[in-house]
C-alpha cells in the first residue's frame, strides 16, 4: 500500500489542472502508471487514490447491499462523482469542473497526503475545518489516549 504524507499548497490553473508538488510526486508508487481514481469526499473535498487503491474502495462499495435504500442512495451519489484521472508528464491532473463546483474548489488548494490517499481541498474550506490547538490536543487525547507516546504535549 502506498503511503502519502504531508500537506502542500497548489493552485488550480485556467484549464482546471493542479500541479502536484514534487514532495508528493516522489511518493507516487512506480507501479501506479500515474493512473488515479478521484472520489468525492464526505467533507466537501476530493480524494485522489492510486488506481489500484481506488479500485479497492470501489469494490467495497460494490459489496454493499444494493436493496437497502440508504445504500442505493449512497451508491448513486458515489458513482455519480467517481472519475479516473492521469497525471501528465508535468505532474498535473485535470479536476473536472462539475466536481470542483460540487465541492467548492476555486483557485487556492490544499493537498493533504495520508495513508493511501491525497485529499484535495479548497483552501478556504480547509481552513474552516482546522481546529484550534487546544481542541486538537483534547481530541488527540480522546481518540489516541490509550496509545503510548503518540502525542506529547509540552
Q: What is the pTM of this model?
A: 0.89
Q: Which three cell numbers stand for residue 149?
A: 507516546
Residue of higher predicted confidence among 127 and 147: 127
Residue of higher predicted confidence among 144 and 113: 113
For the chain, which domains are there? 6-128 (3.40.1550.20)
What pLDDT does residue 147 have?
64
Give tens-digit pLDDT for 74-98.
999 999 999 999 999 999 999 999 9
81 neighbors 40 (Cβ within 8 angstroms)? yes
- β-strands 6-11, 92-94: how paired? unpaired
Q: Is 130 left (phi over 0), alpha (psi -120 to 50) or beta?
A: beta
118: which strand partners?
A: 48, 113
Amino acid at each position: 500500500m502506498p503511503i502519502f504524507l504531508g500537506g502542500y499548497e497548489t493552485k488550480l490553473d485556467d484549464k482546471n489542472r493542479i500541479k502536484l508538488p514534487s514532495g508528493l510526486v516522489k511518493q507516487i508508487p512506480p507501479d501506479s502508471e500515474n493512473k488515479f481514481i478521484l472520489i468525492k469526499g464526505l467533507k466537501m473535498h476530493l480524494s485522489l487514490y492510486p488506481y489500484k487503491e481506488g479500485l479497492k474502495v470501489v469494490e467495497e462499495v460494490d459489496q454493499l447491499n444494493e436493496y437497502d435504500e440508504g445504500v442505493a442512495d449512497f451508491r448513486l451519489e458515489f458513482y455519480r462523482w467517481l472519475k479516473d484521472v492521469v497525471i501528465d508528464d508535468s505532474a498535473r491532473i485535470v479536476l473536472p469542473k462539475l466536481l470542483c463546483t460540487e465541492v467548492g474548489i476555486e483557485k487556492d488548494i490544499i493537498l493533504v497526503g495520508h495513508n493511501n490517499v491525497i485529499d484535495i481541498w479548497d483552501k478556504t474550506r480547509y481552513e474552516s475545518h482546522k481546529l484550534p490547538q487546544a481542541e486538537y490536543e483534547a481530541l488527540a487525547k480522546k481518540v489516541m489516549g490509550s496509545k503510548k507516546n503518540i502525542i506529547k504535549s509540552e
